[in-house]
């Protein structure tokens, strides 16, 4: 069995990291096509002996990369295609339809917020053999675009527990005392991640606890605006970092404030590490965090109050991740998807 994976880019997002965890464990022949020339995760895949193609597609360079996509698929002759992220999902479906290759569509976001994306998603849905949402809450979105339930198999994100060995406490790098309370958020600086409510809630908390700190990990188009607006020695913008787990290991409380989300890899990791977790009240977050695993907020007032809460649920959260979201169980579940796709 040969599987061709098509993804919008191979930067450092959740979908890309998911491929990095799962592809090296596969028993199948496989290759990856990145529509863009982002290579952060691509280089790591290549080190693990996964063949990777880069197409350099952009809105100003569309025709030649699309032609090259068809050439690669015609040369590689995969038995099926698995697509990740909206642009790759749409282009991969069309390629699969034309070349008569079954398509698995990995669904990691609810595109109801975009009329164009949801329209195109619905228009090309018949080109997909199996939909694989990474959370149960995304099944609701698929029903909205009229995907039959028998074409859907939920396959959650997973964590590789071996990645959590030999972590380093990096508080001393920032002159943060062991006794200080440290909050952390790991997310791209885009509107949907709602950094504003995190920062302003922390500012209110910090008035009463001057020795508290907030790590904000990630890059994005809004990062510089936030850095200019919120200047404080207690708010630390790190940009994109490779050692995310070291920062989690050095923190007490994880905050996720997204207005929409797939299944957050960062939240999975924070739960596995037993952090106090506070998340926004959206389906994808509450699928992971319930009253026994952490705290849920509906607005800024809620969040300010919850920042004072002690970690009561860290052990429960870790047990949940160990039992339901472990990498070692992923391959068997993915084989079910493949079987459904080629039947």
The domains of the chain, with CATH numbers, are 2-158+327-342 (3.40.50.2000), 161-324 (3.40.50.2000)
Write the burial class of residue 179 (CB in 10 Å: 0-12 exposed, 13-18 middle, 19+ buried): exposed
At 58 the pLDDT is 86
Say how many CA atoms lie within 13 Å of 48 toward its Cβ: 17
Average pLDDT for residues 44-51, to the nearest whole number?
A: 94
DSSP at 58 = B
Q: Among residues 309, 313, 305, which one has the least CA distance to residue 270?
A: 313
Band of the pLDDT at 326, cuts 50, 70, 90?
confident
**What confidence tens digit (pLDDT) does each residue in 145-198 have?**
999 999 999 999 999 999 999 999 999 999 999 999 999 999 999 999 999 999
Average pLDDT for residues 16-34, to the nearest whole number?
A: 92
At 12 the pLDDT is 83
Say how many CA atoms lie within 13 Å of 11 toward its Cβ: 13
Q: Which residues pair with 130 in a beta bridge?
A: 104
Q: Among residues 205, 207, 227, 225, which one has the least CA distance to residue 216?
A: 227
Please say if the pLDDT value at position 343 is more than 80. Answer: no
Q: What is the pTM of this model?
A: 0.91
Q: How far apart are the first and last CA of the chain?
A: 13
C-alpha to C-alpha distance for 267 and 310, rounded to whole angstroms:
18
C-alpha to C-alpha distance for 185 and 200, rounded to whole angstroms:
13
Band of the pLDDT at 209, cuts 50, 70, 90?
very high
Strands 51-54 and 130-133, by their bridges, are unpaired
Average pLDDT for residues 230-249, to the nearest whole number?
A: 96
């Amino acid at each position: 069995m040969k599987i061709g994976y098509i993804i919008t880019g191979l930067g450092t997002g959740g979908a890309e990291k998911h491929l990095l965890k799962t592809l090296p464990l596969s028993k199948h022949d496989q290759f990856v096509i990145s529509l863009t020339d982002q290579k952060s995760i691509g280089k790591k895949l290549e080190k693990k002996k996964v063949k990777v193609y880069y197409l350099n597609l952009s809105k100003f360079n569309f025709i030649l990369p699309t032609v090259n996509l068809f050439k690669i698929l015609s040369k590689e002759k995969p038995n099926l295609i698995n697509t990740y992220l909206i642009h790759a999902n749409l282009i991969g479906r069309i390629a699969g339809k034309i070349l008569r290759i079954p398509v698995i569509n990995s669904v990691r976001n609810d595109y109801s917020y975009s009329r164009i994306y949801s329209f195109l998603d619905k228009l090309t849905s018949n080109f997909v053999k199996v939909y694989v949402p990474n959370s149960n809450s995304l099944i609701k979105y698929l029903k909205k675009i009229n995907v039959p339930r028998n074409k859907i198999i939920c396959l959650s994100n997973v964590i590789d527990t071996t990645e959590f060995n030999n972590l380093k406490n990096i508080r001393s790098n920032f002159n943060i005392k062991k006794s200080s309370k440290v909050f952390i958020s790991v997310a791209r600086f885009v509107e949907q991640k709602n950094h504003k409510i995190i920062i302003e809630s922390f500012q209110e908390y910090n008035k009463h606890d001057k020795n508290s700190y907030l790590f904000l990990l990630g890059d994005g188009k809004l990062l510089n605006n936030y850095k200019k607006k919120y200047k404080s020695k207690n708010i630390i913008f790190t940009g994109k970092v490779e050692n995310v787990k070291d920062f989690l290991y050095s923190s007490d409380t994880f905050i996720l404030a997204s207005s929409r989300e797939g299944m957050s890899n960062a939240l999975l990791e924070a739960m596995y590490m037993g952090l106090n977790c506070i998340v926004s009240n959206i389906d994808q977050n509450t699928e992971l965090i319930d009253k026994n695993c952490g705290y849920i907020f509906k607005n800024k007032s809620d969040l300010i109050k919850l920042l004072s809460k002690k970690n009561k649920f860290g052990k429960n959260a870790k047990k949940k991740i160990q039992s339901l979201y472990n990498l070692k169980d992923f391959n068997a579940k993915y084989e079910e998807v493949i079987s459904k796709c080629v039947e």
